[in-house]
Amino acid sequence: PMLRKTLVAGNWKMNPGSLAEATELASSLAAHEARDVIVFPPFPFAHAVTSVLGGDKVGSQDICHLDTKGAFTGEVSGPMIAALGIKTVLVGHSERRVFFGDDDDVVAAKVKQTLALDDVTCMLCIGETRDERDQGITVDICNVQLSKALAGIDAALMDRVVIAYEPVWAIGTGLVCEPEVAQDTHAAIRTCLAAIYDEDIAANVRVLYGGSVSPASVDDIMSMPDIDGVLVGGASLVPDSFFRIIRFE
């Protein structure tokens, strides 16, 4: 990808277990600056991690779908996230969709709330289940998730959208999608973006791959023309693994 900058993102999920470990992980990363890197710590650690890495390198794992503040116990609003200086919000992760009921409408509302913030990027996750892949409907599923999540999003905002293609069956399972197979889906995602918007946007939006990326798999994945980076879960918590992933060849 000539026009598109690569990006490596680390999704810490509900890890690590202590603030001290979180700041240590962030500090080790600060010493390893290389390409564009973003980590997504849990909310309670976000302020400390942002102090270490700066807001450009820190993302929020989620955002409230509502355009308000008020009586919504447990929720975190877009302006609260922006107030920390955080510049990226993860939306639609399969764990949110599966365990917490984030359906396509909620995901669409979260995309809207993210893009309503000044200068904040939305990293939108899409991907099929094992069953859907076996049925041969991977591209249909991605197209539906993409179209619904981006419904009503103006073309002018698309420079603040990054897509993360994450086959659900590859997340946390050690099963990496074959690079050529992932490449086909990434190309299909661009075709879908071209249909919703235009060829220019399809060519410029970054599309990351996620699903059990490791030091052993990252180089082959990153050699694919339509794969612009990786979203890493488990391996992002292991400094040596994450550093090797950042230094993909």
Closest approach of ligand PEP to the CB of residue 173, in Å: 7
Task: Round to whole Å and give the CA distance between 192 and 141.
Answer: 11
Among 58, 171, 189, 222, binds ligand PEP (CB under 6 A): 171
Instruction: Choose which of 233, 242, 246, 248 interacts with ligand PEP (CB under 6 A).
Output: 233
Nearer to ligand PEP, 11 or 145 (CB): 11
Q: Does 92 bind ligand PEP (CB under 6 A)?
A: no
Which residue in the block uniquely carries the two structure tokens 């794969």? 227
Task: Return the range that interacts with ligand PEP (CB under 6 A); candidates 51-59, 62-70, 127-135, 166-174.
Answer: 166-174
Residue 213 is a binding residue for ligand PEP (CB under 6 A): yes
Segment 103-142, which members bind ligand PEP (CB under 6 A)?
none
| Binding piece for ligand PEP, criterion CB under 6 A, among 107-115, 126-134, 192-200, 229-237 | 229-237
Q: Which stretch binds ligand PEP (CB under 6 A): 70-78, 153-161, 195-203, 205-213?
A: 205-213
Which residue is catalytic, options 95, 128, 166, 186?
166
Active site residue 128: no
Query: Taking CB under 6 A as the rule, does residue 42 contact ligand PEP?
Result: no
Q: Is 75 a catalytic residue?
A: no
Span of 59-67, 68-76, 77-85, 225-233 interacting with ligand PEP by CB under 6 A: 225-233
Query: Is residue 172 close enough to count as binding ligand PEP by CB under 6 A?
Result: yes
Kindly give, in sequence order, each residue whose CB lies less than 8 Å from that of residue 71, ignoring residues fewer than 6 positions away: none
Using CB under 6 A, list all residues that contact ligand PEP: 11, 13, 166, 171-172, 210-213, 231-235
- The catalytic residues are 93, 166
